[in-house]
């Protein structure tokens, strides 16, 4: 229903503008010039109806005057003394700004409840007599034992009491690699059990699970009004009150104090109401903001509201999620080492044949990197065994092959291989060892590679004296390696969603204005809490919903452009506001001393409006020009920021 109402408002605004142009056309036609006032009245009614109703309802409900009422009264005042066109234009501009602002900023928040889809609709509970039953997860109680079958989502938070498996926690941590889970390990509802069944003891009620906590944090952050919105509301009420009270005084006092005639007094009061209307002030902000939003959209930057673009200009620090934001989010083979005279081509068929039997992300990354020859014939495998958390083995041409962790191997590696492996691990690589019979013949090094544009972005932000922080659920060693490559100054690792929120809150206490950039469900609360939340376009639905700005093509380099655009927007808005206030002051003084008449007042008022609009529209062609330099000085922090 709300969407239908907003569409009607937009249609009414468009129709109002069309009628203004129609009236202007008819005004120049001799046979139909008498019809134009009626056309302007129709534009006035169609465009101003919604504003008038909203203004009256808001005044009655909140007991506060508002700009909607002032704009309608100003338009009525212009119409009373015969200036129908001016009244219609005032209403149209205000109606247009309101309709477009609603369209761009009031997004549906129903996407937040897609988080609930992470949790299964049923849970397999183990009864005391050893039988099983499927129940609604909402009926689970602390202490119940549930079974998480292979390939299915875990029903709720708990502790593993039997079994071992790999669990994909990307929905919670944002990290692509599965985590090994064994007896005593904690698991979260909505994560995916990839291999063997797990017996889990429920440790939390469904309302207290990590997924539900994420939902609550996002909702609370989105409901909190910004300081800017509160400030604008206070200014609006005071401005309208002053103008209306002044208009009433102008209707009463001049005949007694200045010996003006009642006709002249009414005329001057109407001129005052027209020139004091905040049309130019509104045009100082809205057209410029919409132009900036439009320019950003052309550059692949979706801004959900003008206030977010304005806030971006004031940020002093930017916190980045790592996986999928600064990095590609998918592990690739970056290096390998083989002993003796063994060549990669000699072992590729056996590796691909074995890894094809596994659905582990590392296995899929290996096959996608190695399987480049479509004519490659894979050997037959016997006695294949996939050991969750360790690796896979099988017999090929009477040789035992093993691929996986070092602990999965049957023997120690040669000293030179161990040294090479140590060097690769220091670079943040995950190693997959290869054993043939009783010899470790080498390893493959995989890691999540950085986005090629990320380093330039960090250099740009550092050059602008904006502190850069990595905020990740990954381990410190991997995070530090990525930060070193990019030039990020501060690293905060091993963070759960709630710890990311705590980190953002502390950063805001330190810097006052902080942006958060992320792409995963686990980033959503931090995106909502930050001054400006920025999501990657290919991120999760909840991250896109929680964010204020979306980089539509997941091009993180656009963040630098977005910041430069916001700074330019702030500069133009400041100039426009100062100019429009100066014009209003000049017109008010001229009216008081009876220097100007209504036509000149309208020309001055509308002329200033046109000028600030044109100044704002220069943002449609904004180009970023800036040189950057790198500056690296890394600080390491724990999740508690101590």
**What are the catalytic residues?**
321
Token reading at 75: 């338009």
Measured between alpha carbons, how far is residue 368 from residues 323, 349, 356, 446 in Å? Answer: 19, 13, 10, 12
Q: How far apart are CA 622 and CA 412, in angstroms?
A: 61
Cβ neighbour number for residue 115 with a 10 Å cutoff: 21
Torsion angle (degrees, nearest 10) of CA 624, 629, 634, 638: 0
- Three-class HEC string of 462-495: HHCCCEEEEECCCCHHHHHHHHHHHCCCEEECCC
Q: How far apart are CA 166 and CA 387, in angstroms?
A: 10
Closest CA to 334 of 251, 230, 443, 242: 443
**Phi and psi torsions of 315, nearest 5°:** -65, 145
**Phi and psi torsions of 556, nearest 5°:** -70, -20
State the helix-helix crossing angle for 454-463 and 558-592, rounded to 10 degrees.
Answer: 40
Q: How far apart are CA 220 and CA 109, in angstroms?
A: 12
Contacts of 31 (CB under 8 A, 6+ apart): none
Torsion angle (degrees, nearest 10) of CA 241, 286, 575, 91: -50
**Phi and psi torsions of 516, nearest 5°:** -120, 130
């Amino acid at each position: 229903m709300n969407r239908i109402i907003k569409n009607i408002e937009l249609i009414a605004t468009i129709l109002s503008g069309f009628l203004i142009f129609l009236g202007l056309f008819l005004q120049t036609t001799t046979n139909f010039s008498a019809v134009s006032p009626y056309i302007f009245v129709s534009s006035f009614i169609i465009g101003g109806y919604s504003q008038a109703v909203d203004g009256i309802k808001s005044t009655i409900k909140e007991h506060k005057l508002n700009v909607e009422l002032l704009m309608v009264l100003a338009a009525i005042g212009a119409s009373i003394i015969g200036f129908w066109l001016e009244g219609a234009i005032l209403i149209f501009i205000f109606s247009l700004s309101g309709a477009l602002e609603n369209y761009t900023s009031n997004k549906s928040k129903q996407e937040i409840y897609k988080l609930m889809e992470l949790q299964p609709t049923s849970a397999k509970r183990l009864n005391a007599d050893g039988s099983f039953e499927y129940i609604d997860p909402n009926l689970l109680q602390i202490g119940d034992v549930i079974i998480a079958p292979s390939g299915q989502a875990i029903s709720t938070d708990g502790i593993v009491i039997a079994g071992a498996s790999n669990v994909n926690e990307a929905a919670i941590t944002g990290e692509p690699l599965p985590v090994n889970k064994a007896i005593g390990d904690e698991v979260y509802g909505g994560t995916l059990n990839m291999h063997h069944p797990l017996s889990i003891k429920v440790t939390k009620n469904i309302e207290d699970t990590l997924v539900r906590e994420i939902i609550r944090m996002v909702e609370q952050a989105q409901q909190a009004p910004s300081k800017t919105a509160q400030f604008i509301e206070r200014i609006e009420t005071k401005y309208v009150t002053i103008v209306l009270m002044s208009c009433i005084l102008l209707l009463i006092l001049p005949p007694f104090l200045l010996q003006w005639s009642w006709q002249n007094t009414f005329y001057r009061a109407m001129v005052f109401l027209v020139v004091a209307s905040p049309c130019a002030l509104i045009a100082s902000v809205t057209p410029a903001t919409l132009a900036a939003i439009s320019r950003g959209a052309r550059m692949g930057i979706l801004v959900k509201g003008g206030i977010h673009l304005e806030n971006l200009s004031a940020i002093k620090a930017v916190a980045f999620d790592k996986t999928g934001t600064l990095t590609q989010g998918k592990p690739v083979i970056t290096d390998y080492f083989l002993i003796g005279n063994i060549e990669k081509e000699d072992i590729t068929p056996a590796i691909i044949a074995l890894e094809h039997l596994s659905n582990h992300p590392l296995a899929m990354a290996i096959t996608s990197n190695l399987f480049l020859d479509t004519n490659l014939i894979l050997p037959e495998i016997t006695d294949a065994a996939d050991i969750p958390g360790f690796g896979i083995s099988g017999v090929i041409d009477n040789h035992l092959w093993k691929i996986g962790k070092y602990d999965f191997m049957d023997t120690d590696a040669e000293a030179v291989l161990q040294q090479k492996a140590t060097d690769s691990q220091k670079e943040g690589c995950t190693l997959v060892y290869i054993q043939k019979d009783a010899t470790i013949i080498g390893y493959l090094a995989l890691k999540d590679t950085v986005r090629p544009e990320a380093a330039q972005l960090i250099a740009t932000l550092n050059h602008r004296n904006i502190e850069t922080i990595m905020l990740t659920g990954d381990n410190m060693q991997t995070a530090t390696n990525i930060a070193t490559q990019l030039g990020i100054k501060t690293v905060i690792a091993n963070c759960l969603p709630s710890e990311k929120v705590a980190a953002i809150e502390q950063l805001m206490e330190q810097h006052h204005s902080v942006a958060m950039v992320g792409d995963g469900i686990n980033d959503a609360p931090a995106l909502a809490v930050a001054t400006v939340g920025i999501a990657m376009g290919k991120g999760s639905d909840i991250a896109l919903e929680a964010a204020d700005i979306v980089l539509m093509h997941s091009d993180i380099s656009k963040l630098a452009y977005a910041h430069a655009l916001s700074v330019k927007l702030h500069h133009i808005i400041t100039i426009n506001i100062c100019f429009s206030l100066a014009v209003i002051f000049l017109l008010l003084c001229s009216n008081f001393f009876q220097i100007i008449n209504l036509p000149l007042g309208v020309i001055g008022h509308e002329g200033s409006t046109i000028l600030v609009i044109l100044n704002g529209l220069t943002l449609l062609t904004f180009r970023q020009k800036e040189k950057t330099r790198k500056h690296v000085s890394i600080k390491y922090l724990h999740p508690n920021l101590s």
